[in-house]
Structure 1
Amino acid sequence: MTLLAHDVTGEGTPVLLLHSTACDRRMWDPQIPALTTAGHRVIRCDLRGYGDSAVPDESWSDAQDVVDLLDHLGEARTALVGASGGGRVALEVAARWPGRITALALLCTALAGHEPSPVLAAFGDEEDALLEAGDAAAATELNVALWLGPDATDDVRDKVRQMQRHSFDVQLAARQDVGPVRAEIDLATITAPALVVSGAFDVPDFREIAATVASALKTEHVELETGHLPSLEAPEPVNALLTGFIQVA
């Protein structure tokens, strides 16, 4: 078994961070100081095909990878924070292993089975066409333009650009006939206290998903004045939300 690339910072109660599929574990750089200062052992990992985690030769389960990492680190229970595609993985982990998750925070989460809107479907078609034409640079710029809100700084845009381009390079160098296997889940099996966050300038799909998930989990839905990546675009409000929520949970 090859573990996900990861790092661990701080001491205390564990928090595991799962990145957006437009980024890698570096997207959580602004959260590390706040969470460690609040008394947490912060674990962040790269899902396969992102950052330092290569694409394997066979299909895999992101959720199982996460649980295997927790087992390796000796963490029976943890708070779990997931952004976008990482939120989809977090939901699967929380649904399949509910006893292991003490708190669940979701930032602009994706949701298995969601039917893309025309806007999101058109984006996916354009991204696919650019990658098939060998223009990863243009596909990267397409992502930067879509996922960040109007107030994102140039530094944030550059960071997302670097992470997204790197993930394309990793994925395009791998076999194209393998990918993650996702289990069907029932949100009703999730028992952890939850926090759901969306961005006012995000693609409407993710605002709708946030409302759906918050309703299903009977929990609060907070909307921030950001695009799809609030942990990078508005780190101080996100840090306050996460540290306050996890401490109470």
Structure 2
Amino acid sequence: MTLAHDVEGDGPAVLLLHSSVCDRRMWDPQWSALRDAGYRVLRCDLRGYGQTPMADRPYTDAEDVRDLLDALRIDRVVLVAASYGGLVGLEVAARWPDRVSTLALLCPGMPGHQPSAELRAFGAREDALLEADDLTGAVELNVQTWLGPEADDATRDRVRQMQRHAFEVQLAATEEFPKPERDEIDLGKISAPCLAVSGRYDLPDFRQIAARLTELLPDARHLELPWAGHLPSLERPAEVTALLTDHLRETSPS
């Protein structure tokens, strides 16, 4: 199965990977700007998000992304990713380093990261709300947790819609296919230059991951946004779009 996706533009390929709070629509504010800057822009929905159904077999998100690139005959790509998409992007870049030319990671997750007590408490609260069939409560928990103070009402409504849809798709699944256990991902194999962004108002896990990537990757720099929560590309889209296009212009010019 090919992941649901959109492709537009000409030039070096840029793949946008979404947060697990959202789907590929989270990149609406950046889509046209990246295309108009001279890139072939691609975004996809991971399994159980947006227009991609749940899995019907064992799978990994990284292999799904690789298969999508193969189907589109894209040999090398710039990876721009948020949150869980950042975790997937790091795995792709580590397992197939010749396929990734540049990384831009917004508040990324990381393979092998052990969650803090704060992140575990969030997960337990979300599980309890879903087990109680309080879908609205679980959606609101995510909106309150992951959006920073700069997010306006329209942005909060957009995230509500994407998160609710993801929950509905995932909860409707009649069979689950756990992702197979994999050997430890060696991030040192990543050759692409990386911009790792964190937000001051995010959970400590993601702030620490972004900072730590400068130690784990051979060519990475960390930038903390003093106004941001966990989803800065939605909170201040114009500012983050400019940040991304500047990074791409320096590392993968169109």
| TM-score under structure 1 length normalisation | 0.97
Q: Give 1:182 shift.
A: 6.0
Q: Is the 8 A contact 1:62 1:181 kept in 2?
A: no
**Separation of aligned partners in 2, 1:195 and 1:172:** 35
Q: 1:237 aligns with which of 236, 239, 249?
A: 239
**Separation of aligned partners in 2, 1:244 and 1:78:** 17
CA shift in 2, pair 1:140/1:186, >3 Å? same
Per-residue CA distance 1:201-223 (angstroms, 9 max, x = gap):
11111001111112212421111
- 3-state SS in 2 of match to 1:165: helix
Please list, as runs of the form range in 1=range in 2, the aligned pairs for 1:188-199 lying within 5 A after superposition: 188-199=188-199
Q: Is the 8 A contact 1:61 1:182 kept in 2?
A: no
What is the aligned partner in structure 2 of residue 216 from structure 1? 216
What is the aligned partner in structure 2 of residue 201 from structure 1? 201
- 3-state SS in 2 of match to 1:114: coil
What is the aligned partner in structure 2 of residue 94 from structure 1? 93
Structure 1: where are the runs of 5+ without partners? none
What is the aligned partner in structure 2 of residue 227 from structure 1? 229
Please list, as runs of the form range in 1=range in 2, the aligned pairs for 1:97-176 lying within 5 A after superposition: 97-175=96-174
Number of residue pairs matched by the alignment? 248
Q: Give 1:176 shift.
A: 5.2
What is the aligned partner in structure 2 of residue 70 from structure 1? 69
Q: Is the 8 A contact 1:140 1:161 kept in 2?
A: yes
Q: Is the 8 A contact 2:200 2:207 kept in 1?
A: yes
- 3-state SS in 2 of match to 1:82: strand
Please list, as runs of the form range in 1=range in 2, the aligned pairs for 1:17-32 lying within 5 A after superposition: 17-32=16-31
What is the aligned partner in structure 1 of residue 187 from structure 2? 187
**Separation of aligned partners in 1, 2:46 and 2:14:** 16
Q: Is the 8 A contact 2:150 2:236 kept in 1?
A: no
**One-letter code aligned to 1:212:** R
**Separation of aligned partners in 2, 1:182 and 1:244:** 37
**One-letter code aligned to 1:64:** E
- 3-state SS in 2 of match to 1:106: strand
Q: CA RMSD in A?
A: 1.1
**Separation of aligned partners in 2, 1:37 and 1:50:** 27
Q: Give 1:65 shift.
A: 0.5
Structure 2: where are the runs of 5+ without partners? none
**4+ residue runs over 6 A deviation:** none
- 3-state SS in 2 of match to 1:163: helix
Q: Give 1:200 shift.
A: 0.9
